[in-house]
Structure formats: structure tokens, C-alpha cells
A = this chain, B = another copy of it.
């Protein structure tokens, strides 16, 4: 088959070798005489998948025994509720930063569970920047923020330096760069950007923070981190195929040389695209402040907005698909996650230059 360059914001481009292995496992897993998706989750082969995925995740992140990795379903959206349900206890306050649609949804769900403070926001300029002045409420239960904002194309380029437990939604930039992950008490991410297919959610939790969570008896058991942690992610039947495929992606990241090499590749791709945009502001217009730009989701407009549908249509004919901006913002968005190849960005810039010449 001829693969197109797929700039979709998620589910998104995955490594071809991952797709190949996942496809094979659907036919038969490990010469067992049945498919991966016919296999009991309470079996030795599944234990191995589950354990290796946790170990590889911690290896990539440079984390030790003081952290546990959980695999769940439900998407990051379910975490918006689970985080406050587990950690925002009676009489406490939690701090939130509002940097866009998903961060805002986390705020809405947290408000249903208890008292929160939105301590910073970039809503004043339509979320085109990352708020840098972060002062937490004294004794806050945690600070929740979104490291990368898929829709607006902004990304934190620093880790907030705060005294309260740090909780991050890393759905759209997890494992895209080196970071000191040990600064976090809880990290979560839907898999369907950098980490795998839709249907798995990854939670990385500091054990000392986990201990402070509400007991499973006080919560719907499926929403209890303690319940899932005690059963090592098989409290109930887990989403086997999505988790297996996340495991394949983790092995691919390790084979690339880990986050050091992954980050280099992501810098190369995003720099190439932003450089072109910055040199061609007569025709294209990047939407995000320079110090807040995402390496994952590059958002821009054509100065003459009316040309955007034509741009999308002609790009598609060239095998460059999935660049329509989110329905809430319009414009253009190119998502270039870990597995998106550099050649695709080169091809995009070639097309952009051609489109500019033909439509000036």
C-alpha cells in the first residue's frame, strides 16, 4: 500500500513496524494457536505483556520503584473526574491551570467533585500562549495542568516549580521529550497520540501520592486508583489490544534510542516547519507565541482564511491528510507526533511553498 502522510491530531500516525506486529498478533499471538484478542487476560502471556509495558514505560521515563504504571480504559476524559474523586478530599482545594478546551473540561469535571481554584489561564488571548506565572494555593491538594494543548498548539516548555503535588495531563506530548518525570505525582495520557491506539489510558503515579488517595470503598471501584494499582491493572478485563500495542510503541521508542533521540527528531521536524512559517508570514500566520509553541501540534492560518479549504483539498490530493484545524478554532493544524516521519514535514513544506506561489 501507499501510505499517506497523516497529520491527524489523534488517533494518529504510528510506527509502521508497530502496525505490522499488531496486525500479526491479531491473527495469532506468539505461536499459541489463537489470536491476541482471544487470549485470557489472566494468563501468563498477558501477564508478560502487562509487566513489560510497565517496565518499559518506567525505563523510558527514568522512574524507579517509587512509581507505578497503570493501564486503563476510558480515555483522559475519565481522568478529569478520577483525579479529583481520588485526591480532592472534603475541605481541600485543588489548583488548575486553564490552557484550552481539554484543560477547561478538566476544570468542569473537578468542580463537580469539590473546591478548586483556577490559578492561571490564557483565555484572555484565546489560549495562544502558556501562562508562566504560577502561584499555588497554600496547602492545595494538587496542581493540575495540561502539558500540551492539542487544539491550540501550545506546550509547556518548563515544569511548574511548585510545592504541591503536580498532576499533569500529558495526553498529547507524553514521551515526546526528555523530562524530569520524578517531579510529578501523577501523569496521565490517552494513548492515541504518541503512545498507541485509542482505548488505553496510561497513568503513572507516585506510590507515596497513591497512598493518600481515597479508599476504593469510598468510590466507584472502577474509578479507584488504589483498586487498579492493587490488582496491577487487571482488576477487570483490560483493553488488551490497545495495551499490547502501547507496549509495542514503547519498545519502538527504546529501539530509537529513548527520549533523547525521540526529542531530537521532534525538534528537527517542528523547527523545520516553524522556520518556514516564520519566514513566510506574508502568506501563512502561525497562531501561537514563540515561547509557547508545541512540537506536536503546529497550528497556523493562511492570512487569507478563505484559501484554507482549498489548501486542505489540494494537500489531500498530494497525500497530505488530516490538517483541518479543530472545529472550535478553525484554521490549520499539523500534528507531527513521535511516529510522524521527517520526510512528511519536508513534503508538507514543499507543498506549502507551491501553494503559496499559486495563490499569492
Contacts and interface: CB of A to CB of B under 8 A. Distances in A.
A108 B35 CA distance: 34
A38 B81 contact: no
A3 B199 contact: no
A10 interface: yes
Given A27-B19, A109-B220, A221-B81, A37 B245 contact: yes
Secondary structure call for the A interface? loop
B19 A35 contact: yes
B198 A75 contact: no
A8 B198 contact: no
Interface in A176-211: 190, 192, 196-200
Contacts of A33: 1-4, 6, 319, 321
B77 A38 contact: no
A200 B198 CA distance: 11
Contacts of A112: 217, 219-220
A296 interface: no
A100 interface: no
Interface stretch (A55-63, A161-169, A231-239): A231-239
Given A11-B37, A14-B37, A23-B26, A222 B78 contact: yes
A31 B192 CA distance: 21
Contacts of A34: 3-4, 6, 13, 321
Given A81-B222, A221-B109, A240 B74 contact: no
Contact of A74 (B28, B222, B245): B222
B109 A8 contact: no
Contacts of A286: none
Contacts of A327: 42
A32 interface: yes
Given A3-B34, A14-B37, A19-B37, A220 B81 contact: yes
Nearest to A4: B33
Contacts of A4: 32-34
A267 interface: no
Nearest to A335: B40
Given A38-B14, A245-B37, A75 B73 contact: yes
27 contacts: A1-B27, A1-B28, A1-B31, A4-B33, A6-B33, A11-B38, A11-B237, A13-B34, A13-B38, A19-B37, A22-B26, A26-B26, A33-B319, A37-B196, A37-B198, A74-B74, A77-B235, A78-B220, A80-B220, A80-B221, A81-B221, A105-B221, A109-B220, A112-B217, A112-B220, A198-B237, A199-B200
Shortest beta-carbon contacts, A-B, top 6? A199-B239, A73-B73, A4-B33, A81-B220, A37-B197, A23-B26
